[in-house]
Amino acid sequence: MSQADSIPKRAGQYPNDHCPLCGGDNQCANSAAGDAAAGPPCWCKSVQIPEAVLDCLPEQARGVACICARCAKQAAPTTVPGVHQIVDQGQRPALQLAANGQRVLISLTGAQVLSWHTEHGDVLWTASEPKYEAGKPVRGGVPLVFPWFGDHRSNQELPAHGFARSVDWQCVDQQVSQVTLQTSDTEATRKLWNHAFLAELTVALGETLGITMTVTNTGDDTFSFEQALHTYFAAGDIHEASVHGLENVTFLEHAREPEGEWDHTAALRFRAETDRVFQDVPDELSLHAKTLGRTVTLHTSNSRSTIVWNPWPTKTVRLSQMQAHDWRSFCCIESANVGDHAITLAPGTSHEMSLTLRTSQDDP
């Protein structure tokens, strides 16, 4: 019997420990052996479900991997209020948080927050030609930067901004309108960065959007890493937007065609390509998107760097997923620890950086 023949035409309701595709428990070698750590990867992890089969599935079941009893126990239950397993615009596995009329979409690829829809509109920005591909970040939302920021210091062949935004993450915990995703070192990551680590991202939706990144050194050697929540904000007209809280803060400008002289005692305005790494930053900043009538407040903990970036027209044409005019409607304000504020972790220790976003409408 072919795989397709054995699949029910309309997936019914299956208990959590059964595959939502075929209804079976797909007991795999590992769970039979009772040793989840050893043995080959689960059967269900290696099976490619034919598109024709997936087309039979109702929307809410799309993209749910064919999982066996063991994996089902690892996968977080799908019955938590405010959390839905769906797929993103590229049919990649994703989670949707819902609360207070707001929605957040998170791709399991890179644990990337793709969008945050609120009563005031979409707070995060996505490029005009987004690509939702396996193993690649979408230009927009909140791509994760880890374990290095920007180009690798000694090997330009390595992926810019590290690999965290390109690897698969797993959902390991769900609470009401909150999920925790997790990834750890693999043979592939160790070829890029030879350290054992566990990285977790918790996303919580309520009156605010909370994003917390926790890194644990699970190896035997001390390591240092850089990190950033590379947040793309909808800015309306960038010429009318301003960033507040970085007045008089030390920074380095990395733009190829920067503004040149500007008033460091005033709020940051965008008048040219801007790519500024601020250090020893305060824990509260705000973006005033004047033409959207919106203010977004960023409150951080354990983030000592902030990068503010807009490519302006010249660099935009060199960037993937962008159209020529895209620069006009976004800015990145990235909560980070980079450069002199890279984090050093001894074996067995952890570091937690968090960002809380709150929006408000300007008085009419």
Q: How far is the CB of 161 from ligand TA6 (least distance, A)?
A: 5
Q: How far is the CB of 321 from ligand TA6 (least distance, A)?
A: 9
Of the two residues 146 and 309, which places its CB atom closer to ligand TA6 in the complex? 309
Please tell me whether residue 70 adopts helix, strand or coil conformation.
Answer: helix
User: In 7-55, which ranges are continuous DSSP H helix?
Assistant: 29-33, 43-46, 51-54
Cα 328 from Cα 219, distance rounded (Å): 44
Cα 163 from Cα 136, distance rounded (Å): 9
Q: How far is the CB of 13 from ligand TA6 (least distance, A)?
A: 40
Which chain residues interact with ligand TA6 by CB under 6 A? 150, 160-161, 230, 275, 307, 309, 319, 332, 334
Q: How far is the CB of 83 from ligand TA6 (least distance, A)?
A: 28
Beta bridge partners of 292: none
Cα 214 from Cα 198, distance rounded (Å): 8
260 contact partners, CB below 8 Å, separation of at least 6: 272
Residue 52, classified by CB atoms within 10 Å of its CB into exposed (0-12), middle (13-18) or buried (19+), is exposed
Q: How far is the CB of 52 from ligand TA6 (least distance, A)?
A: 35
Beta bridge partners of 13: none
Of the two residues 7 and 246, which places its CB atom closer to ligand TA6 in the complex? 246
Q: How far is the CB of 272 from ligand TA6 (least distance, A)?
A: 14
Of the two residues 114 and 332, which places its CB atom closer to ligand TA6 in the complex? 332
Q: How far is the CB of 125 from ligand TA6 (least distance, A)?
A: 13
DSSP 145-161: EBS--SS-SS-TTSPTT
Of the two residues 63 and 130, which places its CB atom closer to ligand TA6 in the complex? 130
Of the two residues 149 and 197, which places its CB atom closer to ligand TA6 in the complex? 149
Q: How far is the CB of 336 from ligand TA6 (least distance, A)?
A: 8
Q: How far is the CB of 144 from ligand TA6 (least distance, A)?
A: 11
How many Cα atoms sit within 13 Å of 96 on the Cβ side?
14
Of the two residues 102 and 306, which places its CB atom closer to ligand TA6 in the complex? 306
Give the distance, in angstroms, between the CA of residue 279 and the centroid of all CA atoms in the same chain.
23
Residue corresponding to tokens 């479900």: 49
**249 and 266 Cβ atoms separated by less than 8 Å:** no
**335 and 213 Cβ atoms separated by less than 8 Å:** no
Count Cβ neighbours within 10 Å for each residue of 200-239 and write b for 16 or more, e otherwise: bbbbbbeeebbbbbbbbbebeeebebbbbbbbbbbbbebe
Going 281 to 286 to 287 to 290, the CA torsion angle's sign is negative
Q: How far is the CB of 250 from ligand TA6 (least distance, A)?
A: 17
| Cis status of the peptide bond prior to 50, with omega within 30 of 0 | no
Of the two residues 65 and 336, which places its CB atom closer to ligand TA6 in the complex? 336
Of the two residues 185 and 275, which places its CB atom closer to ligand TA6 in the complex? 275
Of the two residues 190 and 256, which places its CB atom closer to ligand TA6 in the complex? 256
Residue nearest to ligand TA6 (CB): 309
Of the two residues 160 and 266, which places its CB atom closer to ligand TA6 in the complex? 160
Cα 168 from Cα 184, distance rounded (Å): 10
Residue corresponding to tokens 């190829």: 256
Q: What element of type H or E holds 286?
A: strand 284-289
